[in-house]
Copies of this chain bind each other. A is one copy, B any other.
Amino acid sequence: MNCLVVGTGGVGLIAAYTLQRNGKCQVTAVVRSEFEDVKENGYNIDSVDYGKISGWMPDRIVKSVDEASDTFFDFIFLSTKNIPDGEATCEDIVAPAVKPGTCIVLAQNGIDNEKPMMENFPESIILSGVSLIGSTRYGCNVIQNGPDNLSLGYFSHPEIDEQTLLEKAETFIDLYKNDVNTVKYDPQVRLTRWKKLVYNAAINTTTALVNLDCSRVSLCGGKELVQRPAMREIYAIAKSEGFDIPEEVQDIMLNISDGTFYTPSMLVDYRNGRMMELEVILGNPLKIAKQNRVECPVLSMLYALLSMVQFRLKEERGLVHVDDAITRPDASTYGKGFN
């Protein structure tokens, strides 16, 4: 079998390494910025699961998904950021490699990510992978600090029966699972995604908006003033769909980063001037809230404010253009307004 890994950050590279190590499939990885370095020297991996590996190389590396379109892939493991309002949608990114029968594993944050995938690739089975893993790539070095823990299941498909979907999930689990990592079949992928959103919609968002790590936000009272109220709204939206997020999840999530000065991914993106996964983390839940008439004043406010931050990031990347050339020199300094 053939697997394509798209999104070779900390999560994607441990996935690629794991799939290749297990020896049940050929692994192709899309490597962009560090392509030449990797081609020459491979990756250096320092992993709590697998120890230190020098100069590891995927079976094949390509510079783009397009370059891999000569091959049929049984699975595409997609672990890029999901930023539909950015340079490219995930559907556009994987499109060149999706053929009839290709299964796409969405190892990404957020909710409703599978919907545009299903619309664009109606013949593909879409699996959901929710990864708990502390893994980061710096250039050609990967440091995996937390054990790999993957929950894998399938999204229901209007034209494919549940047994076929289940078998596809089990096939991927068989490729991925080994004696070191923890891979569990997840019968409720949507509930799992709601649970993870308790963290992402409340904690990622707040830290990015104020540019402070988890512990500092907590020192400022952010847990009770902003994050718990935001979490309660995620509970309410999930509930409106029939999902009961267990009560204890909120306190686990609120306290999980205590004392570690942890920098969530959205804050990392913000600090690096990269666009944030705002739509799949806040935009999509709020669409569901609107449909189901769930009041979400806190999440709505965070979304409105972060959309403005996202606008600035877009402008910095040339994705939007504001013509302030004429007015700016005067008005930005002492224009019409109140001090």
Residues of A within 8 A of B (CB): 10-11, 109, 131-136, 143, 145-146, 196, 199-200, 203, 206, 209-217, 219-222, 225-226, 253, 256-257, 259-265, 297-298, 300-301, 304-305, 307-309, 311-312, 315, 322, 324, 327-328, 330-339
Contacts and interface: CB of A to CB of B under 8 A. Distances in A.
A337 B226 contact: no
Given A256-B336, A297-B297, A339-B11, A210 B265 contact: no
A308 B196 contact: no
Nearest to A207: B308
A261 B328 contact: yes
6 contacts: A10-B339, A146-B336, A212-B309, A225-B304, A261-B324, A264-B337
Contacts of A136: 333-334
Contact of A337 (B135, B256, B298, B300): B256
B211 A134 contact: no
Nearest to A130: B338
B304 A222 contact: yes
B308 A220 contact: yes
A280 to B, nearest CB: 13
A226 B304 contact: yes
Q: Is the interface of A mostly helix, strand, loop or mixed?
A: helix
Contact of A331 (B222, B262, B307, B335): B262
A215 B145 CA distance: 44
B263 A332 contact: yes
A312 B219 CA distance: 11
Contacts of A333: 136, 143, 263
A42 to B, nearest CB: 21
Given A145-B334, A209-B209, A332-B262, A216 B308 contact: yes
Nearest to A200: B338
A327 B263 CA distance: 12
Given A212-B312, A264-B338, 16 more contacts: A10-B334, A11-B339, A132-B338, A136-B334, A145-B334, A196-B338, A199-B337, A210-B305, A213-B332, A216-B308, A219-B311, A261-B324, A261-B335, A263-B335, A264-B337, A297-B297
Given A135-B334, A312-B210, A327 B259 contact: yes
A312 to B, nearest CB: 6
A104 to B, nearest CB: 20
Contacts of A256: 336-338
